[in-house]
Amino acid sequence: MKILVVGNGGREHALAWKLLQSEQVEQVFCAPGNGGTATLQRCQNLPAAVDDFESISNYALALGVSLVVIGPEVPLALGITDFLQSKGLMVFGPNRAGAQIEASKSWAKGLMQEAGIPTAKSAVFNDAKAAKSYVKSQGAPIVIKADGLAAGKGVIVAETVEKAQQAVDTIFSGQFGNAGKFVVVEEFLTGQEVSVLALTDGMTIRPLLPAQDHKRIGNGDTGENTGGMGAYAPTPIITKELRDRIQSQVLEKTLEALQNRGIDYRGVLYAGLMISPEGEPKVLEYNCRFGDPETQVILPMLESPLFELMLSCVERRFHRVAPFSWKQGAAATVVAAAGGYPGEYEKGKVITGIPQAESKGAIVFHAGTELNNQGLVTNGGRVLNVTATGKNFAEALAIAYGGIECIKFDGMYYRTDIGHRVKLTVNF
Ligand code: AMP
Ligand code: GLY
């Protein structure tokens, strides 16, 4: 079988890497891919942007691709699944209607309220005056969100009423385009964030290992928000009891609510949860795709063949597939970022030391790299995801950090405290 993965980040490198471990998969194509997928054996990059549906469809048909796997949210929200399905292709990833769960926060909030899914109290506004007076009535801290996709920049956690009101103005100023037509004002929640990614065929939904991302740029979860600076799985705070609760109160209820809206949702449903200090899960957001960098720690732990799982979701026979099989132990990934990220940063810096990191047992997924006539160079803010599995967190983290220390590029930055919350729950 030949598979086409759409996207160019660390998530897509991890997907290609894992798919190639399925016996039935002979080749993977990536559109457009990166320096990592360019050098992966039996993997080939295709020059098509993620929103160039016509080219992606032409390649898939010409190359005899059996399944197209969609990585990022933007093409899903634009309806890539509907388009490729109309050409007779099999697609892993929800259709445009399903992708609204990520593409519109107000839509997702409505769905949660209707279905009684635990989430923060919120209100939706289409004008600044009403939003600001609501903010004033609620007080701070408070969370202001642009309704639509804003590349991770549309959420402002405001410590003061003034900052929250400024955030309302910023969103309505037009800076986010259509994504800023509505503003969601939300109660501030405290606790630990956990990402629960589930696979579904629209009828059955099952969670993968819970993972924890590290969204802030600085050690100790300080500084600006980023796409994610590291992750680990499984998160020890998700006990069996909590997992069962998330399954019945969040995942199954969400799927039922989607069904009630006539949506045939097949792919990944990602619930970003806040676990309160009392152990109550509440949904912060949904994503309609695999998380990045969570995927880079979940897939190395997965022993079941990914291609077969995805195909069973697309063919709506997921309930007949055996439960997921997981490696014992833990996985961790540390992101090597370009200096300046998440602000301005330079590209084109030569990267060295990856073979040395690999010889120490690390798996190096490429996030923002490119292979050009200078060799492997940086091509994004998050550059590499240095990943490891181990018999426990201490071992996985030691291998990942041992690996990242071998790698060099001009301006390279990484957090040195990935997994710090694990130490609160597990001794090592
Ligand atoms: P989202 O894109 O909705 O996940 O928001 C991005 C980040 O903002 C989350 O990962 C949280 O760290 C934070 N956040 C979002 N909503 C809330 C909330 N209601 N309370 C506290 N923090 C939040
Ligand atoms: N790691 C957060 C996300 O993928 O949205």
Quickly tell me which residue has 């490429």 as its tokens: 366
Residue with CA nearest ligand 2 atom 3: 291
Ligand 2 centroid to residue 194 C-alpha, Å: 11
CATH of domain 2-95: 3.40.50.20
What would you report as the CA-atom Rg of the chain, rounded to the nearest whole angstrom? 21
- Measure CA 392 to chain center: 23
Alpha-carbon distance of 316 to 204, in angstroms, equals: 9
Quickly tell me which residue has 């970003």 as its tokens: 272
For 140, other C-beta atoms within 10 Å of its C-beta total: 17
Q: From first to last of the 428 residues of the chain, give the pLDDT tens digit.
A: 999 999 999 999 999 999 999 999 999 999 999 999 999 999 999 999 999 999 999 999 999 999 999 999 999 999 999 999 999 999 999 999 999 999 999 999 999 999 999 999 999 999 989 999 999 999 999 999 999 998 878 889 999 999 999 999 998 988 888 888 899 999 999 999 999 999 999 999 999 999 999 999 999 999 988 999 999 999 999 999 999 999 999 999 999 999 999 999 999 999 999 999 999 999 999 999 999 999 999 999 999 999 999 999 999 999 999 999 999 999 999 999 999 999 999 999 999 999 999 999 999 999 999 999 999 999 999 999 999 999 999 999 999 999 999 999 999 999 999 999 887 666 55
Binding-site residues, ligand 2, Cβ < 6 A: 213, 228, 287, 291-292, 294
Closest ligand by atom to 152 CA: 1
Out of 153, 294, 335, mutate this one to test ligand 2's pocket (max ligand atoms within 8 Å of CB): namely 294
CATH 3.30.420.40 fits 192-320, yes or no: no
Closest ligand by atom to 284 CA: 1
Closest ligand by atom to 122 CA: 1
Paired with 188 in beta bridges are none
Residue with CA nearest ligand 1 atom 3: 285
Alpha-carbon distance of 364 to 410, in angstroms, equals: 18
Q: Quick one: CA dihedral 231, 237, 241, 247, positive or negative? A: negative
Question: What is 367-419 written as a DSSP string?
Answer: SSEEEETTEEEE-SSEEEEEEEEESSHHHHHHHHHHHHTT-B-TT-B--S-TT
Ligand 1 centroid to residue 194 C-alpha, Å: 11
CATH of domain 330-426: 3.90.600.10
Q: Where are the domains of the chain?
A: 2-95, 121-187, 192-320, 330-426
Binding-site residues, ligand 1, Cβ < 6 A: 120, 143, 145, 155, 157, 186-189, 193, 215, 272, 284-285
Q: What is the pTM of this model?
A: 0.96
121-187: CATH architecture: 2-Layer Sandwich (3.30)
Ligand 1 centroid to residue 284 C-alpha, Å: 6
The number of helices, as runs of H, and strands, as runs of E, in the chain is: 16, 22
Ligand 2 centroid to residue 373 C-alpha, Å: 32
Ligand 2 centroid to residue 252 C-alpha, Å: 21
* Confidence at residue 179, expressed as pLDDT on a 0 to 100 scale: 84
